[in-house]
Amino acid sequence: MATLFFRRNVFPMAVQELLDGLPAAPDQPKVYLVSEAGTIPPDAAPHLRRDIRFAITYAVQGNEADLLISTGANSDPRTTFLQVASWDEHNEVFNYYMRINPSWVWTGNSWDALAAPSRGKGCFDSHINGSVVMKELKQPWLNWQSQSAAIQLAADDPLRADPLYRRVIGAENLEPTVRSQINRWTRGRLRAVTDGGTVQHPDHLLRQLFTTTTVNLTSTATQSAAVGPDDDPLHLPMGFWLNNDALLDDLELEVDAAVPAAPAALYTAALDRFGFRLEEKAGDFSRPGDTFFAFVVPEAALEDNAVVRALWQQGLITPKFAAAALMVDFPNPVFSADRARLMRYVPTGATAAAGLGDLIAERIVAAAGQLPADSPEAQFAAHWSRPEDTWRADFSQRLTGYLENVQRRITTADGYDDYVRLAESRRRQFKAMRLHEFELTLPVTGIPETAPTLRMREDATVTAVTAQP
């Protein structure tokens, strides 16, 4: 952005002006479409705010996206928002820009997302770790135009004539690009903070292991309206039960259990019993039922898992250390107060890279000796003490037993209702994040907003969260 435009005193005010100023490149730019109201027929809700947006990627060469552009799709291109994340190859950061008429503003780079004075502020309320964001990362790519669903437009919608709309491709093509960009920034970040054999701010890295810095949203691949009481069981997303991306895919623990499946009749009955509906107050819209794809919940974020994976791949921690931490309160892959408590043992100043994980483990194990057996410290110490040749099998066996417990409970009315309440509890926690921008992202239920925050236990029962001493 700086090289092609600003240093030449060029300030494009509309997205097409920006794109016209880019060098020609094969198959570029690539255009995607997203709207939380996109699957609702326009004639069924004529006053609904549709908030349709373009996401545009552009690569100077190769497959890496050097510009990622976001802008409104169904409004005046010179007055709607226009935001750009621009990769800086030399400094290995994303620079974030926003057009605020009549000016362009640099809102910071990836490092500003991690610095205390600017963390969580401005654009970093959503780009919380300095990386690009696609909340609905996996199939069925909730709310995106994709091979799983199409965004519906009225027959006379002027967007149909927009040249960018005619270039729209499915979000299944955007997912690998976003994954690549997150890994790109993670690699550059690790190189910068481990220079000279020391780690600067190890707490900034380890918080992505021990805490939920951000989330992705996941769901079943089944359209909610297509689920009938006599249909086959509904497989709920694995990311609701555990951090499968880190534990199963990255650390290669093995489970001898299927993804838990709920009887379709329990799902459909719960929609009525808990008063599921979609609502948008601004558009005076309300419709009974679930989101387009059934059972949307937050799951562990790719950007958190990417940092954890990079930490053990580069030897700052071991895979066993990562597993020992992730197995603490593992039935709660997001918003775990137990894992977050372990952050108190992570150094905050520059620390030798060699043996960083061992240092933290020693601190946790030392504290565990003075604490109850069910404390997070004691849980970690028990995991850390597992023999090198059996810890993977030990953890895999526990995960298998847990999923079997879930499968037994999810076929009962009481068990399924517990999981509905747990899902809604996690949705409430997501709604408290600035990442939650649009009312139609999640369903509304009759469960009170003042209901206790809930957590899952390894026996697959659900209980209220209690304060940690």
pLDDT digits (tens, 9 = 90+) for 412-438: 999 999 999 999 999 999 999 999 999
- The pLDDT assigned to 450 comes to 95
Instruction: Please report whether residue 124 resides in a domain.
Output: yes
Q: Which of 179, 207, 223 is the last residue of a domain?
A: 179
In a domain? residue 216: yes
Q: Is the dihedral of CA 302, 260, 461, 449 positive or negative?
A: positive
**Same domain as 147, residue 98:** yes
202 in the same domain as 337: yes
Mean pLDDT of the chain: 96
Question: For 148, which DSSP code?
Answer: S
Q: Which structural domain range is residue 174 located in?
A: 6-179
pLDDT at 33: 98
- Say if residue 38's pLDDT is above 90: yes
Q: What is the mean pLDDT of residues 67-90?
A: 95
Measured CA to CA, the distance from residue 221 to residue 236 in angstroms comes to 9
Flag whether 187 is in a domain. Answer: no
Q: What pLDDT sits at residue 466?
A: 85
Q: What is the CA radius of gyration of the chain?
A: 23
* Final residue in a domain of this structure, among 146, 179, 212: 179
Residues 302 and 410 occupy one common structural domain? yes
Tokens matching residue 229: 């009481």
* Helix 391-410 / helix 319-326 crossing angle, nearest 10 deg: 30
Residues 169 and 203 both lie in one domain: no
DSSP alpha helices (H): ranges in 212-301? 238-241, 244, 264-273
**Within this chain, do residues 366 and 307 fall inside the same structural domain, yes or no?**
yes
Query: Both 67 and 204 in a single domain?
Result: no
Checking if the pLDDT of 61 tops 80, the result is: no
pLDDT attached to residue 468: 62
Is residue 78 in a domain? yes
Q: Are 151 and 142 in contact (CB under 8 A)?
A: no
User: In this prediction, what percent of the chain has a pLDDT beyond 70?
Assistant: 99
Residues 26 and 160 in one domain: yes
- Clarify whether residues 296 and 241 are in a common domain: yes
Long-range contact pairs involving 57-62 (C-beta distance under 8 Å, separation at least 24) = 57/29, 57/30, 57/32, 57/174, 57/177, 58/19, 58/22, 58/25, 58/28, 58/29, 58/30, 59/25, 59/28, 60/23, 60/25, 61/25
* Number of domains observed in the structure of the chain: 2
Q: Are residues 153 and 223 in the same domain?
A: no
Amino acid (one-letter) located at 92? E
Distances (CA, A) of 301 to 159, 182, 212, 344, 373: 33, 11, 8, 22, 29
Task: Say if residue 51's pLDDT is above 70.
Answer: yes
Residue 320, in any domain of the structure: yes
The pLDDT value recorded for residue 64 is 87
Do 213 and 355 belong together in one domain?
A: yes
355 vs 237: CA distance, rounded Å: 36
230 and 138 in a single domain? The answer is: no
Residue 324 domain-assigned?
yes
Q: Is the pLDDT of residue 454 over 90?
A: yes
Q: Could you tell me the pLDDT band of residue 46, with boundaries at 50, 70 and 90?
A: confident
**Same domain for 152 and 299:** no
pLDDT digits 0-9 by tens, 354-387: 999 999 999 999 999 999 999 999 999 999 999 9
Decide which of 179, 207, 224 is a domain's last residue. 179
Residue 128 lies in a domain: yes
Tokens 């690539």 sit at which residue?
30
Residue 250 per-residue DSSP state:
I
Residue 301 maps to a domain? yes
**CA–CA–CA angle 50, 54, 60 (5° rounding):** 175
Residues 6+ apart with CB under 8 A from 363: 345
